[in-house]
Amino acid sequence: MTKRYPRVLSSGANNTVIVLSETEAGKLFAGDTRSDIGSEAEKMKYANNVNSLVVRFIRLDVWNEDTEMLVMERLYPMDYRAYEQEKRELWVDVMEDELKQLHQAGFVHRDLRRLSDMPGLSFDNVFLTSDGLRLIDVGISALRHQVGDRLFDRFVQQELEELEQFRQFFLSR
C-alpha cells in the first residue's frame, strides 16, 4: 500500500513532494529510498552557489519518525503557452546560458528529459516561473569532482542534446 501524505504536489518513483507553506515545499525520504537525501542536498546547494536555475535549497528536516525531508523553495509553475514566441525564445536562451554556467562550475542536472519508461511528462523537471525557467529534482545530478571528467563530459553532452529537444518542445507549442 502506498503511503499517503497531506498537501501533495507530486509523487515520483522514489519520493513525494508536499506543500509546507506558501514559500516552502518538502521532498520526503521515507524508509528505504534509492536516493540519498544528503547527496541531493549537497548537489542542490552546489548549484545554488552558481546561479538560480536550480530550485533553492533551504534546509534538511524531519517530517515524522520514519521520514526525512529536504526543504526547498516552493515554485509556482506557469503555462508557457500563454506567452509569445519571442519571450519563450529568450527564456530558453537564458536557461541555456545558466545551464552552461553550471556545467563550467562542475554541475550537470542529468534529468531535463525523463526516460520514456518514467511516468509523467517528458520535461516535468523544467518549470516556467515568474523568474523564468527553473529546474527541480537534482536526485540524479552529478558533480564533476564526484564522477570524474570522462563521465561528467558524457553527461554534459547528453544534457545539451536534451536541451535542444526541450527547446523544440517549448517553442513549437
Decide whether 8-73 matches 80-171 in CATH topology. Answer: no
Q: What was the pLDDT predicted at 169?
A: 93
Q: How confident is the model at residue 34 (pLDDT cuts 50, 70, 90)?
A: low
Lowest mean pLDDT among 7-21, 48-62, 126-140: 7-21
Average pLDDT value for residue range 109-126:
74
Flag whether pLDDT at 25 surpasses 60. yes
Residue 81 gets which letter from DSSP?
G
In the chain, what are the domain boundaries? 8-73, 80-171
Q: Are the C-beta atoms of residues 58 and 73 closer than 8 Å to each other? A: yes
- Statement: the pTM of the whole predicted model exceeds 0.85: yes
User: How would you class 34 by CB atoms within 10 Å of its CB: exposed for 0-12, middle for 13-18, buried for 19 or more?
Assistant: exposed
Q: Are the C-beta atoms of residues 165 and 105 closer than 8 Å to each other? A: no
| Chain mean pLDDT for the chain | 91
Q: What was the pLDDT predicted at 4?
A: 79
pLDDT tens digit string along 53-109?
999 999 999 999 889 999 999 999 999 999 999 999 999 999 999 999 999 999 999
Q: Are the C-beta atoms of residues 166 and 92 closer than 8 Å to each other? A: yes
C-alpha cell belonging to residue 79: 503555462
Report the percentage of the chain scoring pLDDT > 90.
Answer: 79
Q: What was the pLDDT predicted at 65?
A: 86
Assess if CATH 3.30.200 describes domain 8-73. yes
Average pLDDT value for residue range 164-173:
92
CATH topology of domain 80-171: Transferase(Phosphotransferase); domain 1 (1.10.510)
Flag whether pLDDT at 13 surpasses 50. yes
Q: Are the C-beta atoms of residues 121 and 79 closer than 8 Å to each other? A: no
